[in-house]
Amino acid sequence: MMWDKVNQRVQQALAAVRQAFRVVTGTVDSSTKVQLLQLNGLAGEQLDGAEYFQHYGLTTSPPPGSMGIAVPLNGNTSHTVVVATEHGAYRLTELKPGEVALYTDEGAKIVLKRGRIVETECDVYRVKCKRYEVEAEESAAFTTPLLTASDKLTVEGKIIGNGGMAISGGKKYVATFEGNINHVGGVITSVDVTINGVKIGTHKHDTPHGISGLPHN
């Protein structure tokens, strides 16, 4: 009988302490040190300025309508914090066990896939840094109609081109070659070529009969 009364009092005390509950997020304030969310409880109540605690090094701004888990600290609804959010309309599905993904409601995503594959999908991939280093042990492939470098391009090995090559001196540099050039086939065509100060297309020779005419085919 005594234990029944004790249990009853414990249950009454626990009933007065609010437990974690589900919410739907509204507006987000990301200007503060800890992100603040507007919450709508499933019972229709509204909470403003609930702190959203996230892991160090990772921050997100959940779109309105996201589901969340709210925890009232010490059972006090006025001091509620959010510990997790989810939005079923945008979450990536069909991930294999062990895979990890970052994603947005616009469809941009980074997926760490099985087989040590990192797959990224977006409209613009922008990197801003002082030095960008890539070490690819086997190869690196770019499938794109245009690859642009704003300044110098240095290649330590051979350059192989299967679709032709066009080189011109720009505003800062003149097209130059250093080393041996081995022409193995085809025709070299130029308006004029100067070798050792001699213009190949317009030069003339001294002959026993006077100055020669221009070279011709």
**Residue 141 pLDDT:** 93
Cβ contact 199:213 at 8 Å: no
What average pLDDT does the structure give for the chain?
85
Question: Which of residues 168 and 135 earns the better pLDDT score?
Answer: 135
109 neighbors 103 (Cβ within 8 angstroms): yes
| Predicted pLDDT at 162 | 81
- Fold classification of 18-86 is OB fold (Dihydrolipoamide Acetyltransferase, E2P) (2.40.50)
For residue 109, what are the β-bridge partners?
Answer: 103, 121
Residues of the chain with CATH 2.40.50: 18-86
Least confident of 34-38, 63-67, 168-172: 168-172
pLDDT confidence of residue 4: 67
Q: What is the pLDDT of residue 127?
A: 96
Q: pLDDT digits over 10-57, tens only?
A: 565 555 567 888 999 999 999 999 999 999 987 778 889 999 999 999
Residue 167 pLDDT grade (very low, low, confident, very high; cuts 50, 70, 90): confident
Q: Check residue 201 and give its pLDDT.
A: 65
Which of the four pLDDT bands, split at 50, 70 and 90, describes residue 203?
A: low
Of 83, 84, 101, which is closest to residue 92 (Cα–Cα)? Answer: 101
Burial bucket for residue 99 (CB in 10 Å: 0-12, 13-18, 19+)? middle
Instruction: Give burial (CB, 10 Å; 0-12/13-18/19+) of 184.
Output: exposed
